[in-house]
Structure 1
Amino acid sequence: MRSLSLLLVYLVVTLAEAASYKDGPFKVKESIVAPPRVWVEHAPAPSNHILELRIALPQPFSPLLEKHLLEVSDPSRKRYGDYLSKQETESFLSPHPHTIDSVSEWLASYGIHDDDLHSSAQGWVTVRVPVGLAEEMLGAKYHVYRHSETGEYIVRTTSYSLPEVLHDHVQFIQPTTMFARFRAFSSTLHWTTVPVNDASTSSTITGPAGNQVDASCNQTITPTCLRQLYHAVGYETSATNGNQIGITSYLGLYVNDHDLQQFFEAYVPAACGSNYTTVSINGGQNNQSIAAAGLEADLDSQYAFGLTYPTPRTLYTTAGSPPFDPDLHVPNNTNEPYSYWLEYMLSAENLPQTISTSYGDDEQTVPESYANRVCMGFAALGARGVSLTFSSGDYGVGDGDPNPETQLCFSNDGRNTTMFIPSFPASCPFVTTVGGTIYIPETAASFSGGGFSNYFPRPSYQDRAVSDYLSKLAPGTYEGLYNPDGRAYPDVSAQSDWFMVAYQGQFGYVGGTSASTPTFASIISMVNDARINAGKKGLGFLNPWLYSVGYAGLNDITTGHNPGCGTEGFNASIGWDPGESREAFHHLNKSS
């Protein structure tokens, strides 16, 4: 009798909630004062335009996941290297059953039933609805916005609401208030110019560990240069010990196999004819038309796959790009791609030990709720033993304008506060962020992104290093332009300019933190290879190790700065700094 009474109570509460979804009071869930200044309202969104709504359900056990991550990633802890299983991480990311029921009932009240849901893995629900229905469900008004510099169009709203009874069951819904573009971080492309610098007239240059580097590396970077500089000459990785490396590709930037083989033939002859595994996510492709070759994808693949050959390689190609053509009424206007990539990776049984990503955007264009959710997904991968490297960005302390003098460094919260512009996902505390250096001896690359997050507080693993840096700044330096209590980045750096690449059938130079990131990831992959050969686990989430004992294997960069927002930016100095941080390993074998 008691169980029947409880069932009746549950049914009464459920029916009451269902009735309140449409009739009850709506409350604003998220809003922004206005879109970022580069996005201009173009027209009301067509009511029949199809949106793919991603509904993030709260993950009440995620703080426990963060605790486990730090315990398995800190060399001073007993659990170091005791990574979690797929099932264990899923349990920490699961929403409460009542949350799933409540959201399902809300959707059903609009005629959307379980069969219409794309997924509910790791607390995501995906539905495809026309704009007209989305506006009714969210109490919102969608518009088409045009990017004033690129001419791209997206469909967004500046505010959306939900029934009050749902607020505790929905973390956020996108695409709504997100105006991020998520671009590749390849800042410079030079096909004919050769840099002029003070290279030695001798045939070699002495590196930071006494190693000899060809003098030509001060004009052209190749895999041989990087192996010489980072003391990996002669190290041969295994194809069979279980070690793997992955790279990500977004925004329709494809790895061209002809370019890859052309590069191998010139610079990594042993890799000629070797293949990689392609994984398609959310309809991602890898178009082999020479015209479809992506500079970013070619750069990432040629260096990550070339440096680590014959380690098994995987390309993750993920569809999802906000712009569309409003005149053609293209039916899809998808979200940015990270959430799709994470959903796939977290559900995969087998993961590479090292994954490199060279994409990002201004942190303030990403809603804080979204940034926190994606960052926690990165934490889950780290807890499973994956080393994630991300580019720090190519605009110094400024925004997406490559000219430091013309950057618009203002907050987009309606107050137009002058400020440095941090980058995301570089600002996530659960990834290793890679800045850039140039020349040998190395100095900070002026375009290398670095600074402090406005969303994420400074993590404990870097508290000492960052506090030491801040204590050396002159009082009042850049006061009010950055958040001294925020997560600081980059964590490391590596060579980042004058990389020789094969692109659309010809060779040329490319630079940016898109170059340093696969370089550093490749060195980490080699370290993981050495550890696995020695019967150890891979390094997993790197930062607690890097800031405690791993820094001993790094060379300190003490010259250069990263200008932006009309300032000189942060200077490179002794120890950690946001102007450059330390560079990649100066001795592979001693760092493992």
Structure 2
Amino acid sequence: MRLISLFGLPFVAALASAAVPFKDCQHKVKESIHGPPRGWSRHTPAPKHHMLELKIALPQPKFPELEQHLWEVSDPSHPRYGAHLSKEETDALTAPHSETLDIVNEWLASYGLAEESLIRSSANDWVTIRVPVGLAEEMLDTTYHVYKHSKTGESIVRTTSYSLPEILHDHIDLIQPTTMFARFKAFRSTLLWGNQVQPSVLSESGRTITGPAGNQVDASCNSTITVSCLKQLYNAVAYNTSATNGNELGLTGYLGQYANNMDLQQFFQLENPSAYGSNYTFVSVNGGLNNQTYAAAGVEANLDTQFGFGLTWPTPRTFYSTAGEPPFDPDMFSPTDTNEPYSYWLDYVLSQPMLPQTISTSYGDDEQTVPFTYASRVCAGMAVLGARGVSVLFSSGDYGVGDGDPDPATQECYSNDGLNVTKFLPTFPAACPYVTAVGATVNIPETAIYFSGGGFSDYFVRPAYQEVAVSEYLAKLAPGTYEGLYTSYGRGFPDVSAQGMNFSIVYQGETALVGGTSCSSPTFASFVSMLNDARINVGKTPLGFLNPFLYSTGYAGLNDITVGNNPGCGTQASTYATTGWDPISGLGTPNFEKLEALVLSMD
């Protein structure tokens, strides 16, 4: 895929040496949306003094070259497989043209924003400024309003259109927060307390059942998932990772999700006693906190760290806490209003010379709530991570093909283009072609679970690596099936899957069960981390971007899921599991021994 429309823009003629009188230049609409997504309504004009932290994305003219590197170093059949790029190399390939820097600097200076007030990304492709709403409205020829969400009651400051002097249009890709209403919520389903299922667990004590690898698995794993269950199910009981070979696992937390260390140690005592007393590296991004009070413990953060770190111990591990949108009270003087967590996290990690080889994230939102320009730019950042040798995994979402309503019967699946047509709603960032999206399964034998997010992107065309697999799935559909509800040539997701229900965690000192694709992503990522460990132990490079491997040969190391469907948007079975790839379970769940043999056979 080539995102030429965003990353191959032509540049205007060389600038005249005289300063451009920007305030006298005619503005032209840079970006607009028909209206706020469903659930959001305009409330009041935004207070002029309210501070906005605006992130300005500058074009990356060499991105097609970086993308070509990504395909080559990620393709096991290519001579350059595994020859990942350095930070310095990717910075050079994502840097804006010098003319762009000059003219944007001049524009900012014309509003009194000198160099010392600007924050620049490592590659200089993002510029961040802090300005009051009143100044932002003048710069962008727009009007900001406070918008409220009908279901959550939360408020944000946004606009539905902004403009720039025409001379800047080829030098600025996007500015946010403006038209972006995405909430980037954590993916998880209902929290259940462990004592509600304890009797069934006890009744299965000592019995075994046959797992997907043909081995015997504790029968209790059919009702409660533990670290031991996952290692049994996915055939990795005998594998032990190293603490000293340089391999590392990274997990991300956003929007006030804090991993509680006391809960983590209690979890280790219960499920991996060898890890008890071990710790992880905490990294604050954009002011992300590390609140260790029990009341602040996050279900999502606890789930990710307990299973991710429990499965991979003693592999070194990192938890990134990224601040997101603070609560905004339109009746009070409030802090800076931001809700662009992925760009802040990407800014940080791409500025680091060394990164974890595997990173999992369990957050996202409906793709259509994310402006195409922002989605494309964040997706490009994921491509940079892949080119640097990082395997990036995302949960595929918890609402099947529908919106954020967990009940398929009441889901509202409408386009946000003013036409309000019924359609399936893909998830972002899971639908980005440069990440590995993970769906969810349940039970033994495994079936795809009804809430597993999946479908086809409306923004990103189907990449070459999955053309054969996805085309084979589409050929199985009866002519006209769900016609008009999805983009048949879009990037299909998820790519893979893993168990996603009844995970036993420790939350605020008590055992609880959770479910969702938020369970699946850190689980699959943990087995990828083990595969990286195995490769590094024999002097090979980490796997990096996984999808070209998974779709070419890696599928042979996966358990194909052929049963299950995810109803929604008024349909009884919007997508269904079948032989081969499908948009609910992807290519299947991991068989570690088979995958290990495959990855060790590659250069």
Superposition pairs for residues 490-529 of structure 1, below 5 Å?
490-529=494-533
1:578 matched to which residue of 2?
583
Which runs of 5 or more structure 1 residues have no equivalent in the other structure? 1-9
1:545-581 C-alpha deviation (Å, 9 max, x unpaired)? 0000000000000000011111121010000000222
The structural deviation recorded for 1:25 is: 1.0
Code of the aligned partner of 1:350:
M
For 2:16 and 2:232, locate their aligned partners in 1 and report how far apart those are by CA, in whole Å.
Answer: 68
**Amino acid of the residue matched to residue 459 of structure 1?**
P
CA distance in 2 between counterparts of 1:280 and 1:108 reads 31
Q: Distance in 1 between the 2:592 and 2:172 partners?
A: 48
The structural deviation recorded for 1:187 is 1.6
| Other-structure match for 1:73 | 74
Higher alpha-carbon deviation: 120-129 or 374-383: 120-129
Any conservation in 2 of the 1:50–1:130 contact (CA below 8 Å)? yes
- 8 Å CA contact retained: 1:397, 1:569: yes
Deviation at 1:583, TM superposition (A): 2.6
Quick check: 1:391 aligned with 2:395? yes
Q: Report SS of the residue matched to 2:475.
A: helix
Q: Distance in 2 between matches of 1:453 and 1:512?
A: 21
Q: Which of the numbers 154, 167, 174 marks the counterpart of 2:156?
A: 154
The CA distance in 1 between the partners of 2:548 and 2:409, in whole Å, is: 36
The 3-state SS of whatever aligns with 1:188 is coil
Q: Which range moves more in the overlay, 558-567 or 117-126?
A: 117-126
Alignment of 1:445 with 2:449, yes or no, is yes
- Using the TM superposition, give the Cα deviation of residue 211 of structure 1 relative to its aligned residue in structure 2, in angstroms: 1.1
Asked whether 1:52 is paired with 2:56, we answer: no
- Deviation of 1:323 (Å): 4.2
Deviations 1:13-40 (A, max 9, x none): 2425x21x11111100000111012011
Q: Which amino acid aligns with 2:353?
A: E
- Corresponding residue of 1:432: 436
**1:112-153: CA deviations, max 9, x gaps?**
110110224330000000000000000000000000000000
Matched, 1:206 2:210: yes
**Is this contact kept in 2: 1:528–1:538, CA < 8 A?**
yes
Query: 1:172 aligns to what?
Result: 174
Identity of aligned residues (%): 66
Range moving further from structure 2, 180-189 or 434-443: 180-189
Instruction: Name whichever of 199-208 and 234-243 sits farther off.
Output: 199-208
Partner SS for 1:187:
coil
- Counterpart of 2:294 (choices 266, 290, 315) is 290
Q: Give yes or no for contact 1:154–1:322 (8 Å, CA) kept in 2.
A: no
Q: TM-score, normalised by structure 2?
A: 0.94
Q: What is the Cα deviation at residue 325 of structure 1?
A: 1.4
Which of 138, 141, 160 matches 1:139?
Answer: 141
Contact 2:560-2:589 at 8 Å conserved across structures: no
Counterpart of 1:62, as a letter, is F
- Show the counterpart of 1:3: none
8 Å Cα contact 1:221-1:497 kept in structure 2: yes
Q: Which runs of 4+ in 1 moved over 6 A?
A: 199-202
- Name the stretch that deviates more: 31-40 or 314-323: 314-323
1:366, CA displacement in angstroms?
A: 0.2
* Alignment partner, residue 13 of structure 1: 16
Name the counterpart of 1:41. 42
Q: 1:45 to 1:72 in 2, by over 3 A?
A: same
**Structure 1 segment 331-410 matched on structure 2, within 5 A:** 331-410=335-414
Alpha-carbon distance, 1:201 to partner? 9.5
Paired letter, 1:147: H
Residue in structure 1 matched with residue 33 of structure 2 by the alignment:
32
Question: Is the Cα–Cα contact under 8 Å of residues 183 and 339 in structure 2 kept in the other structure?
Answer: no
Deviation of 1:12 (Å) = 7.8
The answer to whether the 8 A contact 1:57-1:99 is kept is yes
> Does the CA contact (< 8 Å) of 2:561 and 2:589 recur in 1?
no
Q: Are the counterparts in 2 of residues 363 and 425 from structure 1 also a CA contact under 8 Å?
A: yes
Deviation, 1:408, is 1.0
Contact 2:15 2:99 in 1 (8 A): no
Distance 2:41 2:327 in 1: 14
- Deviation digits for residues 311-351 of structure 1 (CA, Å, limit 9, x no counterpart): 00000111122641112220310132100110111110110
In structure 1, what is the equivalent of residue 183 of structure 2? 181
Alignment of 1:416-495 (within 5 A): 416-495=420-499
1:320-331 to structure 2, matched below 5 A, reads 320-321=324-325, 323-331=327-335
Aligned residue for 1:590? 597
Q: Partners of 2:326 and 2:160 in 1: how far apart?
A: 16
Amino acid at match of 2:502: W
Separation of aligned partners in 1, 2:16 and 2:86 = 37
Structure 1 residues 322 and 163, CA gap change in structure 2 (3 angstroms)? farther
CA distance in 1, matches of 2:40, 2:327: 12
Equivalent of residue 278 in structure 1, options 277, 282, 285: 282
Q: Note the C-alpha offset of 1:43.
A: 0.4
Q: Which residue of 2 aligns with 1:4?
A: none
Q: How many residues align?
A: 580
Say which is worse superposed, 564-573 or 482-491, in terms of deviation: 564-573
- Offset at residue 95 of structure 1 (A): 0.3
User: Does the aligned pair in 1 maintain the 2:405–2:411 contact within 8 Å?
Assistant: yes
Long gaps (5+) in structure 2 = 1-12
In structure 2, the partner of 1:113 is 114
* Residue 50 of structure 1: how far off its partner (Å): 0.3
Deviations 1:468-526 (A, max 9, x none): 11011100000000001000000000000000000011001000000010000000000
CA–CA distance in structure 2, aligned partners of residues 200 and 561 of structure 1: 27
SS at structure 2 position matched to 1:15 = coil
CA distance in 1, matches of 2:266, 2:121: 43
Deviations, residues 407-427 of structure 1 (Å, cap 9, x unaligned): 110011111111000000000
Shift of 1:202: 7.5
